[in-house]
Structure 1
Amino acid sequence: MNDLESRQLRYFVAVAEELNFGRAAERLGMAQPPLSRAIRELERGLGVRLFERTTRQVGLTPAGEVLLRDARTALEAITAAARRAAHAGRPAPELRLALKADFDAGLLPQFLAAYRREPEAIPVELVLGGRGDQEAALRDGRADVAVLPELTDGRGLDAEPLLTEPRLVALAASDPLAARSSLSLADFAGRVLPDGRPAELGGPPPGPDGGG
């Protein structure tokens, strides 16, 4: 088997996400025949079928599902490597700190003050984003370090807890749970939050505007 090329992975991911060769070709800005040919060559090189094709639909095989997961990770790593190299080569590099505005628990001034006392400290650039953007910024090379409420996928990242805060809940005085001195998320099973999510999940939604 020949080494995989990033071009092959991009082609494969486009088809795997669209599950349609025509839409994938349009997304990639190329004609469909060379895309189909590239996927066949990829399957031949790997010695496995990545897609189940019929006249009506395209689906991933188990091997294709595995490759899709790893291909996304590999492409993210390639993009991140290029961004980090370009950033490191700048005449005046900066430490890029990703965080959501007003979501640092008041710790940001302490972070910056402590870091600036380090002999090899460099200027800090704040990379602001919505809730959930910080982990993506680390993975794709837009940030070097981040302050975030939690990791959804810690693979390949080093993390250190900085602060633990208790969860709070607002209940009507007449609610049976209001008389309890302590509660767990399991106590809210079957209840729904105002935004429609199951209450036992707790916390704000992970979208860009999800709380904080």
Structure 2
Amino acid sequence: MIKLLDAPTSTGEVSVTMRRSDGAVGYLKGEVLQTMVDARGRNLAAHVDAAVDVLLQEAASRILVLGFGGGAASTLLHQAGASVVSVDRDPCAKPLAELFFRAPPCLEVVVSDAAAYVARAMAASFDGMFIDFQESSATPEAYLSASFWRAVSRVLKPGCMMVVNLTDWLYEGRDWADFRRALGQGGFDAVALSHEYGDGNRILVSSTLSQSVSELVS
């Protein structure tokens, strides 16, 4: 890998690298890969494609992305015609996504902690959500907090879908039971879990209504 750039931030170092073999470009936070695109800017993370597909199947038109990273998910949703608001706590995320990952400059990216954003956001202001802000093996505190999931539920319109990227660290780790408990206490009682996509990621799909969503991730 060729390192193209290092950007120190208050929450850890962000790096952009290029793979020698094919020119694929990666966005890393603390050495953890968050986004990978090919030399033409096309997404290479299968779980991101799957999450986007679920939200588009549900005809979500105003979508909140918590964890912008290199902007792959937000870009795909925007290209499909959705109105997207993205949140990332690193101020460098948006300019790096535009410079290296071909994210459109028109994307709205709010610099904020994800939990703080949903706590103050207007109720029922989104009809879809993608959550992907685990940056290390440590589970984000918000993921284990019922109050965070209640805030997420409040921000979503009734019955709309939320998709969470689950890393192997969480799914196979000691916090899995606590995560599931917090999710349930936050009001998400219908859950489907995908297979593993070959990059250590699964997607969890949930809604605030008691309805089957298993067909979305089969």
Same fold (TM over 0.5): no
Higher helix proportion:
1
**1 or 2, which has the higher strand percentage?**
2
TM-score by length of 1: 0.24
Give the TM-score normalised by structure 2: 0.24
Q: Report the structure number with the largest CA radius of gyration.
A: 1
